[in-house]
Chains A and B, each alone.
Chain A
Amino acid sequence: MPQVQVLADDRKDAPGVSPGDTLISVRGVTAGYDNVRAATRLIALRDIDLEIRKGEFLAIVGPSGCGKTTLINMIAGFVRPISGTIEVRGKEVTSPGADRAMVFQDYALLPWRTVEANVHFALENRSVQVTKEEASARIAEVLDLVGLGGFAKSYPHQLSGGMQQRVGIARALVTRPEILLMDEPFGAVDAMTREAMQAELEKIIAASGQTVVFITHSIDEAVALGDRVVVVSSRPGRIKEIIDVDLPRSRFDDEVKRDPRFAEYTQHIWNLLRDEALGAKDER
């Protein structure tokens, strides 16, 4: 895949952090939301410490409402922590930046734009300086990468949910970000498409080499994709355990899924979360 190689080589990573070194550090972060009317503050996350290494695929798994989305929003720069700091390459995160691209659960595509124009959206700002030719070359490249080569002129409402999310991924990759933030990207697609998309994502990331922070509430998905899995408990969100997933890639060969260790990992995480999951059920 020569095109993909270009994508990886061309990525404008700032020098100084080599694969395996800490790229994102979350230190003593507490976060929450103020309810001004009731004069209360809901603490979503408490005392989170987390080091995310360059080039790793970090999956964060936890029940609904455990604050994992808040965590990724803080790394993205939408939300500021109440206390503690988040740093990328030693620089504190205060706002969204070109080094971090995000893939949203609900795709967040502009419905009046074609697939092509939606991907182009990521290139339409001050910080990205590309010529017209380079932009269209890059767009064609990422659309091929996500398997949407033939759909450049389609509109989002003409595509299935899985295909819309491919557009979301293409849009995030076209800026060649160092970090890819994915907030339950496959949460809204059907189970069969989901598995296919996971396999494809693994392949894309293997080729492009991004550092990925991937939020999910599916234990299977976390184990299947993550180099490490961060297990987060809820109310308030705390890190219960960080697990190194020692399974070979590609994980989507049928062999790996039948590997007894795969089941051990998922069982272990399930044990960590079981009480909360059952508790959460009662609350609903």
Chain B
Amino acid sequence: MTDVSPATRDAATEAEEANAPQVESIRRSAWTRLRVPVITVINLAAFFTIWEVFASTSLVNPLFFPKASAMFSALFTGFADGSLLPQLGHSLGNLLIGLVISAAIGIPVGLFMGANKAADLILSPYVWSLTALPRVAFIPLLILILGFGNEMQLTIIVLSATFPIIVNCMAGVKTVDPSLLRAGQVFGTSRLQAYTKIIFPYTLPFIVSGLNQGIARGLVGMLIGELLGGSGEGLGYVLDRAADRFDSATLFAVLLLLAVMSVGLVQFTRWAERRVAPWRERNAS
């Protein structure tokens, strides 16, 4: 359309506006950029210093509460003498395998339940009761069936992580814009295509937040399995053994390691959450 009708002029104006948004750059001082990391470093340094001073007084029993320095040195020696790394590897490996299995079960089941009323009706009572039931309750049964070992530890992780993923996917599917599904019908998508081209991408942010919760629950499951499973492997086992030996420095070192690990995983999924659906942020603003 080369003629300049009101309509094309309108399109041209719109195009111009979209191409050249009125953004001017402003000066950012070094402090604005570095504020968050600097404050975090000072904050943590102060925390461990106060801890150190507090633990050095006779107010607490060093048997239960080590100095911060002792904790760090236990952490260092643990990695240096190679006693900690295989245990960390075992735990992380189990967690990751467990999460992959949970995602492979939870995502399709959740999507299917969310989109299919009959499946929802039939499976709901089981899914919700298994979601609500504390995972520890399964331990005696699992030990009975699987014995003390890796299968049991992995199973408890899968049991812990699968259900939050299912529930989140289900909730996500219910937010899918019905007019998108109608558009799918109009343009002849098959049922399977509706899942892969509309429902799955639309639900992706919910899937990621399901994984986020799955990680948190899976970590709990991992520790329960290692603490009660008695297989002699994993960070939970190190915790258990350290407590038996009144080795509070190692105990706290492992707790610190677990805290870092959890925060890292949760931050990763939060980052992923923002990445998978940039349009949602835009809509929210």
Contacts and interface: CB of A to CB of B under 8 A. Distances in A.
Bound pair: A and B? yes
Given A124-B193, A127-B188, A196 B201 contact: no
Contacts of B198: 110
A270 interface: no
How big is the A interface, by class? 35 or more
B245 interface: no
Contacts of B183: 102, 104, 108, 121, 171
Given A112-B277, A157-B282, A199-B5, A162 B186 contact: no
A108 B14 contact: no
Given A96-B186, A104-B182, A150-B15, A155 B10 contact: no
Contact of A159 (B9, B18, B188): B18
B187 A101 contact: yes
Nearest to B10: A196
Interface in B241-285: 277-280, 282-283
Contacts of A112: 201, 277, 279
B180 interface: yes
Contact of B10 (A96, A162, A203): A162
B174 interface: no
B73 interface: no
B189 A125 contact: yes
B142 to A, nearest CB: 40
A100 B180 contact: no
Interface in B187-229: 187-190, 193, 197-198, 201
A104 B179 contact: yes
Given A96-B188, A101-B187, A106 B179 contact: yes
A277 interface: no
A156 interface: yes
A276 B283 CA distance: 36
Q: Enumerate the 6 nearest inter-chain pairs by beta-carbon distance, A residue then B residue, closest first.
A: A125-B188, A200-B7, A147-B11, A111-B279, A196-B10, A108-B183
Interface of B: 1, 5-11, 14-15, 17-18, 177, 179-180, 182-183, 185-190, 193, 197-198, 201, 277-280, 282-283
13 contacts: A101-B187, A104-B179, A104-B182, A104-B183, A108-B179, A121-B197, A147-B8, A148-B11, A150-B15, A160-B18, A196-B7, A199-B5, A203-B5
Interface of A: 1, 76-78, 95-96, 98, 100-102, 104-106, 108, 110-112, 121-122, 124-128, 144-145, 147-148, 150-151, 154-160, 162-163, 166, 171, 175, 192-193, 195-197, 199-200, 203, 252
